[in-house]
Amino acid sequence: MSPTDRGGPPGDVVVVGPGAMGCLLAARLSLAGHSVLLLDHDPARAARLARDGLALTDPQGGARLRATVRCTTPPLEAPPELALVCVKARSTRKALAPLVGGTGTVALLQNGVGRFAAAGEFLGAPERVVGLLSTEGATLTDEGAVRHTGCGRTHVGALRPEQRSRAECVRALLASAGLEASVVDDLERAEWEKATVNAAINALCALLDCPNGALLELPTAAELADRAAAETARVARARGVDGPWTEEQAQARWRAVAQATRRNVCSALADLRRGRATEVFAINGAVARAARELGLTADTNETLDLLVAAREAQLRAR
């Protein structure tokens, strides 16, 4: 199918972004029988993906499946009924631009805090936004080739609670592709709970060039991760986010995830290895900024954000 073919039947699922998670979702949905349109900003890559399709390797590294998807570049002829947006935080506005207008659901899979609310503001329609918080593991092994490195769970929540039906539809879609998913009623709480984990793991693993579980084996690294998680919990509590936000719970949460995903390479480390900018500014940086707004400090998160930014600048200068 030509990448210039911009239309599709109303039942199309549009996946924005051919990164690891975008390719994983597009491939799994296609293999489950859904009509998938992958949206890419790069015309040459879009043409190749439209021609060659996607290759998916299962978590055990065994079966390699070929998924057929249509691929095109913006703009679309009309806003889709459902779009799964899987791009890095710095690319959010560019990815959302083709989706402005219409009434379709926009499901955003992204790390950080405040990202879903920002998407709703940009679209001018917060009622359309559904947030996805996932522990699925995926990595690109080549262009259009993705390895599903670990099965996880995806929490799905509507930005506006009265739009729960949108979240239910997205959950059902993911489940139809064999992905474990559940609907959460409080998206903000789920967002901050995941932030306590990401703030503890992502920046440190990126700086130390190690998989998640290695933090548990390095006492000084684990101490820094504990501090980052505890600061994140304090900020969430000060913001009035519902839920228990004790330091002990926050620290236990990141440690449990690090143990369960001990062999996984987090997205921040994968980005640095590819010479790309990370989402740490939207995780640790966002926690530090939120703390300052409340008259608090989050020194560990701020330092981790600055260290990763320095590493990114170093890589750009090469």
Catalytic residues: 194
Burial class (CB in 10 A: 0-12, 13-18, 19+), 4: exposed
Peptide bond into 9 cis (omega under 30): no
Q: Hey, what are 164's tokens?
A: 């729960």
- Cα–Cα distance measured from residue 96 to residue 122, given in angstroms and rounded to the nearest whole number: 8
AA identity, residue 231:
E
Sequence-separated (6 or more) residues with CB below 8 Å from residue 220: none
